[in-house]
A and B are shown apart, each in its own frame.
Chain A
Amino acid sequence: MLKIENLHATVADREVLKGLTLDIKPGEVHAIMGPNGSGKSTLSYVLAGRDGYDITEGSINFMGQDIGEMEPEERAALGLFLAFQYPVEIPGVTTTTFLKTALNAVRKARGEKELDPASFLKLQKQKLTELGMDADMLKRGVNVGFSGGEKKRNEVLQLAMLQPKLAILDETDSGLDIDALKVVADGVNALRAPDRSFLIITHYQRLLDYIKPDVVHVLAKGKIQKTGGPELALELEQKGYADFYDEAA
């Protein structure tokens, strides 16, 4: 599914990822935990193809293709999805328009037929109901005036609509209270499938109480420092990241 080898990446000429290796198989849920500044968000942006995040060494292979040089939309068409830590507000474009444009763009890129308006609305309604979301948000500008919880739920709605192969959740738990966190986690759990993988990027162990990972990695100083099972997350919660600062220093 996703194979990252010896990835080095720079942001504004500063090397942030320094030889990161990661292998995610279909259906697996991986968590990457790490202290602030360890390169977590950089990893998510590099994977999604954000402008200004440059790969200087190593490779990213996704669905059998080297995606390192691809545009963000090409990666999305291949089945990569990034749930943003800070979803962007787009006034004047309704959530429905946004979802329809995105879904049809991805379908078109995959050589599938675009959905007609009726089928689209039906699908949208179904996903909305499954996620227990208010239809009112569809008529509002994308993320405009949404609470933190609503923004994250909107990310999960997009995830549910686009049905990616790999979903990267970047600090999805930040700014959420426990109820909102549960709703978001339920939404994600409902999407778990044998051919769909997740990469959960988080500072805290809390989210992993609700979305059970198969594998937990510790990222510090731009590299995976340690890999283990769910118990590693609990250990980090108790001991903090101090060991890894020392180890990596």
Chain B
Amino acid sequence: MAQAAVHSFKTETLQREEAMPWLAPAAVLGGDNAPAWIAALRETGAASFAATGLPTPAWEGWQYTNLRPLTPDVFTFDAAGDVAAQDLPAPLLKDSHRIVLVNGRLRPDLGTPLPDGVKLTPLMEISEPEEELATVGSLAQSPLLALNCAYMRDGFVLDIAPHRDITRPIEILFMTAGNSPAVYPRVLYRFGENSGATLLERHAGAGAALTNLYAGLVLKAAARGRYYRFIDENGDAVHVSRTVVRSHKSSDFQGFSSVSGVAAGRQEFGLELLDSGISSSIGGVYMLKGRQSHDFTILADHFEKDGTSVQHFKGVIDDQARAVFQGKIHVRRPAQKTDGYQSHHALLLSDQAEASAKPELEIYADDVKCSHGATAGMLDTDGLFYLQSRGIPVAEAKALLVHSFLSETLEKITRDDVRALYAARIAAWLNAPVEEAAA
């Protein structure tokens, strides 16, 4: 595409005018007969980004993650690129359904039929958007979200019908291909009342790519949502995403994410426990080396009573890699009997590795139980010596200990097959054979 906008992170100081290289000519953003709400949102997003530019370390929530080191990477909006059906990665799980997007565009030709009770609606076919799709947060406070709006091109709403239990998992595969594409997908997963489903959201691609995803999840009353994300991109990719989980009465959400391949990443999760009796948990593992950086920024927001939220993250950092964890539990005044739990543990494998953690509790109700714990440490020398004394070479012994450390986060994952997928990613990073984790 001749008019393709070129994105560059090449910004020494982030002034207002430097927002402009990020923003494409209007002709790129429009010209596709998008519904009016999308056209309006693009304009709002572009205007907001033009006013703010990228966040700087002076911004609240951005003290530790700086987008500036990404200087040499250049990404192109709507870059050409395709993947042939035979080049798609094999499904994560057998007997799963699949939705495929290439460079942020839905590709029904590459997916599989969806089962009864599951409906996929392409973004461009939605004329009257739901709030969860169109109003997703403060653009002024989230320039990346503003960009996601400005470049809104494709995506979907996935509806799980009320009272349906979808037994086979649904894999949502986001592929990137071609010459350093920048993609801005927007998706909404909606679990109807008392429905249940397992979603496997996977991001993959062989080359450099920028993914800036907005994913919304809505769990209606008594719904059971399982949302497992796999960031399987390679070392030249940049992944930023914002995921907002809106939970309604007595629903149950479990989410997990693993990341190891990207050059830089930031995953924001907002758990909104909007009614009473909700359980909502999010966990993750990260494995970083070289000069990789990754940031998990989490907010669990309790609106009403009897809610339980869990944030459970662990990561391992080697070389000069950097990891950030920012986790907050917000308990509003009516949210009595809230149970909020948060933990983050980082294992540093080198003297130059860096972990920054910012746990926060903000509590306005008086009858709540909230806890948080954050540690950063080196490998346990007792364990290392124990393994070596049994004949296990030091490199292998270290790998076993790291595996031991990380796999603890997987214990809460209810599906064995999904747990195995994450264990395989840990093993692959450690370059070790896959072993079943101890119960």
| Residues of A that sit less than 8 Å from B by CB | 48-51, 71-73, 75-77, 81-82, 84, 87-88, 90-94, 97-98, 101-103, 105-106, 109, 139-142, 144, 158, 162
Are A71 and B394 in contact, with the CB atoms below 8 A?
A: yes
Are B390 and A98 in contact, with the CB atoms below 8 A?
A: yes
Q: What is the bound-complex CA distance between A226 and B282, given in angstroms?
A: 62
Q: Please give, as numbers and ranges, the residues of chain B lying within 8 Å of A72 by CB-CB distance.
A: 385, 388-389
Interface segment out of the listed B59-67, B169-177, B397-405 = B397-405
Are A71 and B391 in contact, with the CB atoms below 8 A?
A: no
Are B393 and A73 in contact, with the CB atoms below 8 A?
A: yes
Are A141 and B438 in contact, with the CB atoms below 8 A?
A: yes
Q: What is the bound-complex CA distance between A97 and B387, given in angstroms?
A: 12
Given contacts A71-B393, A84-B389, A92-B406, 18 further A-B contacts (CB under 8 A): A48-B385, A48-B389, A50-B389, A72-B385, A73-B389, A73-B390, A73-B397, A88-B382, A90-B386, A91-B404, A93-B435, A94-B438, A97-B436, A105-B390, A106-B390, A106-B391, A141-B438, A158-B390
Are B383 and A88 in contact, with the CB atoms below 8 A?
A: yes
Known contacts A50-B385, A93-B400: A76-B436 contact under CB 8 Å: no
B439 within 8 A of A: yes
Q: Which 8 A-B pairs have the closest CB atoms?
A: A76-B391, A92-B404, A106-B391, A141-B438, A72-B388, A102-B390, A88-B386, A92-B407
Q: Is the interface of B mostly helix, strand, loop or mixed?
A: helix
Instruction: Tell me which of A72, A88, A158 has the highest count of chain B C-beta atoms within 10 A of its own C-beta.
Output: A72
Q: Please give, as numbers and ranges, the residues of chain B lying within 8 Å of A91 by CB-CB distance.
A: 404, 408, 438
B154 CB to closest chain A CB (Å) equals 40
B73 within 8 A of A: no
* B residues 366-401 in Cβ contact with A at 8 Å: 380-383, 385-394, 396-397, 400-401
Which of A77, A84, A88, A94 is close to B435, meaning CB atoms less than 8 Å apart? A94
B437 within 8 A of A: yes
In the complex, the number of residue pairs spanning A and B with C-beta atoms less than 8 Å apart equals: 99
Interface 1/0 per residue, B123-135 and A, CB below 8 Å: 0000000000000
Are B438 and A87 in contact, with the CB atoms below 8 A?
A: no
Q: What is the bound-complex CA distance between A144 and B405, given in angstroms?
A: 13
Q: Please give, as numbers and ranges, the residues of chain B lying within 8 Å of A82 by CB-CB distance.
A: 389
A12 CB to closest chain B CB (Å) equals 13
A212 CB to closest chain B CB (Å) equals 26
Which of A49, A93, A105 is close to B393, meaning CB atoms less than 8 Å apart? A105
Interface 1/0 per residue, B402-421 and A, CB below 8 Å: 01111110000000000000
* B residues 339-391 in Cβ contact with A at 8 Å: 380-383, 385-391
Are B381 and A51 in contact, with the CB atoms below 8 A?
A: yes
Q: Please give, as numbers and ranges, the residues of chain B lying within 8 Å of A76 by CB-CB distance.
A: 388-391
Chosen A-B contacts, 12 in total, with CB atoms closer than 8 Å, are: A48-B389, A81-B389, A87-B386, A88-B386, A90-B404, A91-B408, A92-B403, A92-B437, A93-B437, A101-B400, A141-B404, A141-B438
Which of A77, A105, A106, A140 is close to B439, meaning CB atoms less than 8 Å apart? A140
Are A139 and B391 in contact, with the CB atoms below 8 A?
A: no
Q: What is the bound-complex CA distance between A101 and B392, given in angstroms?
A: 7
Q: What is the bound-complex CA distance between A103 and B406, given in angstroms?
A: 24
Q: What is the bound-complex CA distance between A162 and B385, given in angstroms?
A: 17
Q: What is the bound-complex CA distance between A73 and B389, given in angstroms?
A: 5
Known contacts A71-B394, A88-B382, A105-B396: A93-B388 contact under CB 8 Å: no
Q: What is the bound-complex CA distance between A144 and B408, given in angstroms?
A: 12
